Amino acid sequence: MHRYILRRLFLLIPVMFGVSLVVFTIMFFTPGDPAKLMLGERAPEAEVAALRAQMGLDDPFPVQFGRFIFNAVRGDLGRSLVTRRPVFQELYARFPATLQLAAAGVLVAVVMGIPIGILSATRQYSAFDAASMGIALVGVSMPNFWQGMMMILLFSVSLGVFPSSGYGTLRHLIMPALTIGTSTAAIITRMTRSSMLEVVRQDYIRTARAKGLSERVVINRHALKNALIPIVTVIGLQFGYLLGGAVLTESIFSWPGVGRLMVDAIRQKDYPVVQGGVLLLALTFSVVNLGVDILYAYIDPRIKAQYK
């Protein structure tokens, strides 16, 4: 198992290298001169040229990329063109807020999705099932940035229960977490339901019933653990969606996270920040998925056996 984890950690290296290459390439071919951006449009040509040389912007692509990777490995992602502060510091300061938001979103999704999905599956075709599936479908159909605005309209503007922006307290967290977690909750609900329905048809569930176990035990002990296997995968995948969604949600609620930093950076054409943000979120996503795969092995002994 440890060897498996090590192997998977090792495999992260080429993936992150690839991600860096993709992101760096996109940014490299972006029109616009970073040196000019830093110095302003009216800066003298000579000064711009000097800065370009100093930043190594005139070097060929492989050299620039190599330098980027070399620095990135040591935690140096360059400097913001706008604030001139190291990108790493900028991201580091904002990252906890984003993690907090994404984790709260996952929590909302899991706490709502799994129980509702189980209830739906055990009451297939009931009114509860129909209603929760209908609501779940609405949940996945709502653009989350719109949902956020509608929540602000209802809870901040009309009812005044929650603040429309800000950070720090639970009251500030509730609306952004619901916004970012809703579609994931809906997906997990649907997934849990269908996975449960698939599992309860299995022979071993019949065996469990034939033992005289109560339906509660059959579902919670025998069915759920098997049904969780695909659900856990989806939660991991959804985490990536949440990190991406953070970009939109954070800007709606003025949440001081990486997402809002990136949106601001895009507006100001502050590419090193955008680049660093994408890398950080991709790395987070990959690490979360690695965690999910390990969790997987703890749920399913068959998988664990393969990696002994």
Partner 1 sequence: MAERLLEIDNLRVEYHTDDGVVTAVEDLQLHVEKGQTVGLVGETGAGKTTTALSIMRLVPAPPGRIVSGSVHFHGEDLLHKRLDEIKKIRGNKISMIFQDPMTSLNPVLTIGFQIEEAVVLHQGLDARAARARAGEMLRLVGIPPEREGDYPHEFSGGMRQRVGIAMALSCNPELLIADEPTTALDVTIQAQVLELMKRLRQQFSTSMLLITHDLGVVAEVCDQVAIMYAGTIVEYADVNTLFTNPRHPYTRGLFGSIPSLDEEVTRLNPIKGLMPDPTALPSGCKFHPRCPMAGEICKTRVPQTTNLGQGHSVHCMIYEGLVPGYEE
Partner 2 sequence: MRTETDDIIQSSDEHPGELPEKLSPDEHPPLTPAPELSKRRGQWGEVWRRLRKNRTAMFGLAVVLLIIFTAIFADVIAPYSFRVQNLDRIAEAPSRDHLLGTDDLGRDILSRIIFGARVSLQVGFIAVSISIILGGTLGAVAGYYGGRMDNVIMRVMDVLLAIPSILLAIAIVSAFGGGIVNVMIAVGISYIPVYARIVKASFISIKEQEFIEAARAVGARDGRIIVRHILPNSLAPIIVQGTLGVATAILSAAGLSFIGLGIQPPTPEWGAMLSSGRHLIRSAWHVATFPGLAIMLTIFALNLLGDGLRDALDPRLKQ
Give me 217's structure tokens. Answer: 């035990």
The CA–CA distances, whole Å, from 61 to 15, 85, 158, 237 equal: 20, 24, 54, 33
Residue with Cβ nearer partner 1 (175 or 199): 199
Residue with Cβ nearer partner 2 (47 or 146): 146
Give 175's contacts (C-beta < 8 A, 6+ positions apart): 148, 151, 152, 155, 156, 162, 164, 253
Considering only 34, 190, 222, 253, the residue that binds partner 2 (CB under 8 A) is 190
DSSP string, 99-147: HHHHHHHHHHHHHHHHHHHHHHHHTTTSHHHHHHHHHHHHHHHS-HHHH
**CB of 226: closest distance to partner 1 in angstroms?**
6
Residue with Cβ nearer partner 2 (53 or 137): 137
Considering only 124, 163, 209, 299, the residue that binds partner 2 (CB under 8 A) is 124
Task: Answer yes or no: are the C-beta atoms of 191 and 109 closer than 8 Å.
Answer: no
**Percent of the chain as helix, strand, coil, to the nearest 5:** 80, 0, 20
Give me 45's structure tokens. Answer: 């040509």
Considering only 83, 156, 165, 202, the residue that binds partner 1 (CB under 8 A) is 202
User: Any contact of residue 299 with partner 2 (CB under 8 A)?
Assistant: no
User: Any contact of residue 207 with partner 1 (CB under 8 A)?
Assistant: yes
Give the range of 44-52, 69-77, 84-92, 280-288 binding partner 2 by CB under 8 A.
Answer: 280-288
User: Any contact of residue 16 with partner 2 (CB under 8 A)?
Assistant: yes
Stretch 209-228 residues interacting with partner 1 (CB under 8 A)? 209-214, 221-222, 225-226
DSSP-derived secondary structure letter, 86: B
Identity of the residue numbered 163: P
Closest CA to 133 of 185, 176, 178: 185
Residue with Cβ nearer partner 2 (44 or 125): 125
**CB of 198: closest distance to partner 2 in angstroms?**
5
Considering only 42, 216, 302, 308, the residue that binds partner 1 (CB under 8 A) is 302
Residue with Cβ nearer partner 1 (170 or 210): 210
Give the range of 12-20, 60-68, 102-110, 300-308 binding partner 1 by CB under 8 A.
Answer: 300-308
Give the range of 60-68, 142-150, 152-160, 196-204 binding partner 1 by CB under 8 A.
Answer: 196-204
Give 216's contacts (C-beta < 8 A, 6+ positions apart): none
**CB of 222: closest distance to partner 2 in angstroms?**
15
The CA–CA distances, whole Å, from 127 to 130, 158, 215, 237, 278 equal: 5, 32, 20, 30, 43
- Residues contacting partner 2: total by CB under 8 A: 75
Report the distance separating Cα 68 and Cα 59, nearest Å: 12
H helix and E strand count, the chain: 14, 0
User: Any contact of residue 298 with partner 2 (CB under 8 A)?
Assistant: no
Stretch 37-76 residues interacting with partner 2 (CB under 8 A)? none
Residue with Cβ nearer partner 2 (50 or 153): 153
User: Any contact of residue 129 with partner 2 (CB under 8 A)?
Assistant: no
Measured in residues, the chain has a length of: 308
Judged by the rule CB under 8 A, the positions of this chain that interact with partner 1 are 202-204, 206-214, 221-222, 225-226, 299-302, 305
